[in-house]
């Protein structure tokens, strides 16, 4: 199956799920979907086994139910599991979870921001950044902080669709680009 077809199918499954059950989901549910996706993404062997036609669907169902319980996914996810198994597309489960999470947040107007800084930020600095992003987006945001010494000094504020950066690393990249452009 081509990557674009896979992405399109995952999108359709996620949209259908949210169209029917989206009103009953919470932000906590969306975060649990994302955590389950991250687990599956980090453990590729699970998705590999879901592709095996020789592996009984009852075994796959049991394991996926255990996974759903581990990550406290809503019981309504069982409908997606059963549908994917019936259509021999259980290997898409990982990406369907991701799209459910991201589509839910998009519909709710929530951005996930990863805030990278060259050094650990104080609570006051975090508050200033969060206030800036809330003002710029006009929406609710979720923040995850990481130290990235490659920035040298400064910060990078990144969501799936937005990026603000003010760092030495960015200035060096811009300088390099201008020198390359002048050299041509």
In angstroms, the Cα distances linking 54 to 47, 48, 59, 88 are 14, 12, 11, 12
What parts of the chain have a pLDDT lower than 50? none
Tokens of 21: 């059950």
Instruction: Give tens-digit pLDDT for 117-151.
Output: 999 999 999 999 999 999 988 888 889 999 999 88
Residue 46 has what pLDDT? 87
User: What's phi and psi for 147, nearest 5 deg?
Assistant: -95, 130
For position 173, what pLDDT does the model report? 84
Q: Give all domains of the chain, ordered by start, each with its CATH number.
A: 3-107 (1.10.520), 111-183 (no CATH)
């Amino acid at each position: 199956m081509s990557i674009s077809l896979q992405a399109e199918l995952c999108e359709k499954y996620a949209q259908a799920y949210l169209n029917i059950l989206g009103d009953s989901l919470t932000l906590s549910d969306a975060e649990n979907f994302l955590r389950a996706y991250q687990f599956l993404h980090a453990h590729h062997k699970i998705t590999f086994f879901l592709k095996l036609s020789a592996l009984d669907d009852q075994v796959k169902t049991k394991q996926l139910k255990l996974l759903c319980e581990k990550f406290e996914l809503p019981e309504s996810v069982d409908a997606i599991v059963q549908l994917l198994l019936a259509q021999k597309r259980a290997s898409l489960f990982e990406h369907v979870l991701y799209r459910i999470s991201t589509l839910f947040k998009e519909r709710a107007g929530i951005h996930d921001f990863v805030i990278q800084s060259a050094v650990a930020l104080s609570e006051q600095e975090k508050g200033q950044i969060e206030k800036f992003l809330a003002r710029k987006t006009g929406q609710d945001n979720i923040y995850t902080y990481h130290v990235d010494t490659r920035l040298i000094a400064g910060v990078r504020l990144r969501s799936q669709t937005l990026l603000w950066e003010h760092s030495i690393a960015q200035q060096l990249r811009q300088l390099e680009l201008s020198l390359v452009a002048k050299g041509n």
